[in-house]
Structure 1
Amino acid sequence: MLDGNNIQVGAGRYAQCHGALKQIGQEVSFCGKTAYIVTDSTVWSKTGHIVKESMEKSGIRFTVDEFDGPSTQKSFEWIAKRLRDTGSEVVVGLGGGKVIDIAKGAGNLTDRKIITAPTSAATCAAYAVLYVTYGEDGSVACSQFLTHEISAVLVDLDFVADDCPARYLASGIADAMAKKPEFYFTMLNLGAEGMTATSEVATGIADYTYKNYIKKALQAIEDAKNRVDSALLDDVICMNIMLTGMVSDLSTGGKQLAIAHNFYDAVCCLHREARKNFLHGEIVGLAIPLQMAVNGSPQKETDEAKTLLAAMGIPTRIEQLGIDCTPETVRELIDYTHRKTIPEDKALYEKIKECMKVIM
Structure 2
Amino acid sequence: MRSGTLIQLCAGRYYQGSGVLSHLGEDAALLGTRVWILADRQVWPKVEQAVTSVLTEHGITWQVHLFSGGCCPANYRAAAEAGRAFGADAVIGVGGGRALDAAKIAADLMEVRVITVPTSAATCAASAWLAVEYTDQGAFVGNYWSRYPPFAVVADLDILVRDCPPRYNIIGFVDAMAKYPEISYNILHSGQWEQNTFSHSARLLARSTYDLLLSSGGAVYEALEQGREDPMTEDCICAALQLTGLISAMACGGKQAAISHSLYSYFCTCRPEIRSRFLHGELVGASLVYQLAVNGAPRTEQEALDRFLRRFELPACLEELGLADTPEEQNSLFAFLAEHMPIADPRELERLRTQATLLFHGLK
Question: TM-score band (shorter)?
Answer: over 0.9
- Measure how far apart 1:309 and its partner are: 1.7
Q: Answer yes or no: is the 8 Å Cα contact 1:2–1:254 preserved in 2.
A: no
- Measure how far apart 1:46 and its partner are: 1.0
Quote the residue 2:304 is aligned against. 304
Q: Answer yes or no: is the 8 Å Cα contact 1:118–1:155 preserved in 2.
A: yes
Q: Answer yes or no: is the 8 Å Cα contact 2:143–2:254 preserved in 1.
A: no
Quote the residue 2:249 is aligned against. 249
CA distance in 1, matches of 2:354, 2:167: 31
Q: Answer yes or no: is the 8 Å Cα contact 1:338–1:348 preserved in 2.
A: no
Residue range with higher mean Cα deviation, 124-133 or 146-155 = 146-155
Deviations 1:212-249 (A, max 9, x none): 12211111112112222221111111100000110001
Matched, 1:94 2:123: no
Going from structure 1 to structure 2, the CA distance change for 1:349 and 1:316 (only over 3 Å counts) comes to same
**3-state SS in 2 of match to 1:94:** strand
Q: Between Structure 1 and Structure 2, how many residues are aligned?
A: 360
Deviations 1:296-339 (A, max 9, x none): 22222112212212213320121221223333123322221232
Matched, 1:54 2:54: yes
Matched, 1:287 2:287: yes
Going from structure 1 to structure 2, the CA distance change for 1:303 and 1:2 (only over 3 Å counts) comes to same
Query: Letter of the aligned partner of 1:74 in structure 2?
Result: A
CA distance in 1, matches of 2:104, 2:201: 25
CA distance in 2, matches of 1:166, 1:191: 38
After superposition, the CA RMSD in angstroms is: 1.8
CA distance in 2, matches of 1:65, 1:191: 42
Structure 2: gaps spanning 5 or more residues: none
CA distance in 2, matches of 1:25, 1:160: 19
Going from structure 1 to structure 2, the CA distance change for 1:73 and 1:254 (only over 3 Å counts) comes to closer
Going from structure 1 to structure 2, the CA distance change for 1:38 and 1:155 (only over 3 Å counts) comes to same
**3-state SS in 1 of match to 2:37:** strand
- Measure how far apart 1:344 and its partner are: 6.8
Quote the residue 1:67 is aligned against. 67
Quote the residue 1:137 is aligned against. 137
CA distance in 2, matches of 1:253, 1:96: 19
**3-state SS in 2 of match to 1:236:** helix
- Measure how far apart 1:342 and its partner are: 3.0
- Measure how far apart 1:191 and its partner are: 6.6
Going from structure 1 to structure 2, the CA distance change for 1:193 and 1:19 (only over 3 Å counts) comes to closer
CA distance in 1, matches of 2:181, 2:321: 22
Going from structure 1 to structure 2, the CA distance change for 1:27 and 1:309 (only over 3 Å counts) comes to same
Going from structure 1 to structure 2, the CA distance change for 1:3 and 1:98 (only over 3 Å counts) comes to farther
Matched, 1:78 2:112: no
Query: Letter of the aligned partner of 1:176 in structure 2?
Result: A
Q: Answer yes or no: is the 8 Å Cα contact 1:17–1:155 preserved in 2.
A: yes
Quote the residue 2:235 is aligned against. 235
Residue range with higher mean Cα deviation, 253-262 or 211-220 = 253-262
Q: Aligned runs of 1:1-360 on 2, under 5 Å?
A: 1-2=1-2, 4-189=4-189, 193-252=193-252, 255-342=255-342, 345-359=345-359, 360=361
Query: Letter of the aligned partner of 1:274 in structure 2?
Result: I
- Measure how far apart 1:253 and its partner are: 8.1
CA distance in 2, matches of 1:257, 1:23: 33
Going from structure 1 to structure 2, the CA distance change for 1:3 and 1:266 (only over 3 Å counts) comes to farther
Query: Letter of the aligned partner of 1:280 in structure 2?
Result: H
CA distance in 2, matches of 1:226, 1:45: 22
- Measure how far apart 1:2 and its partner are: 4.3
- Measure how far apart 1:255 and its partner are: 3.8
**3-state SS in 1 of match to 2:228:** coil
Deviations 1:142-170 (A, max 9, x none): 01222112111001111111111111111
After TM superposition, the score normalised by the length of structure 2 is 0.94
CA distance in 2, matches of 1:56, 1:137: 37
**3-state SS in 1 of match to 2:276:** helix
CA distance in 2, matches of 1:118, 1:173: 14
Q: Answer yes or no: is the 8 Å Cα contact 1:260–1:287 preserved in 2.
A: yes
Deviations 1:62-85 (A, max 9, x none): 110112142112322221111211
After TM superposition, the score normalised by the length of structure 1 is 0.95
Q: Answer yes or no: is the 8 Å Cα contact 2:9–2:249 preserved in 1.
A: yes
Structure 1: gaps spanning 5 or more residues: none
CA distance in 1, matches of 2:172, 2:44: 22
- Measure how far apart 1:9 and its partner are: 2.1
Q: Answer yes or no: is the 8 Å Cα contact 2:198–2:251 preserved in 1.
A: yes
User: Which of structure 1's runs of 4+ aligned residues deviate more than 4 A?
Assistant: 190-193
CA distance in 2, matches of 1:338, 1:222: 41
**3-state SS in 2 of match to 1:70:** coil
**3-state SS in 1 of match to 2:31:** coil
CA distance in 1, matches of 2:342, 2:187: 14
Query: Letter of the aligned partner of 2:66 in structure 1?
Result: E
- Measure how far apart 1:42 and its partner are: 2.6
**3-state SS in 2 of match to 1:30:** helix
CA distance in 1, matches of 2:16, 2:282: 24
Percent identity between matched residues is 34
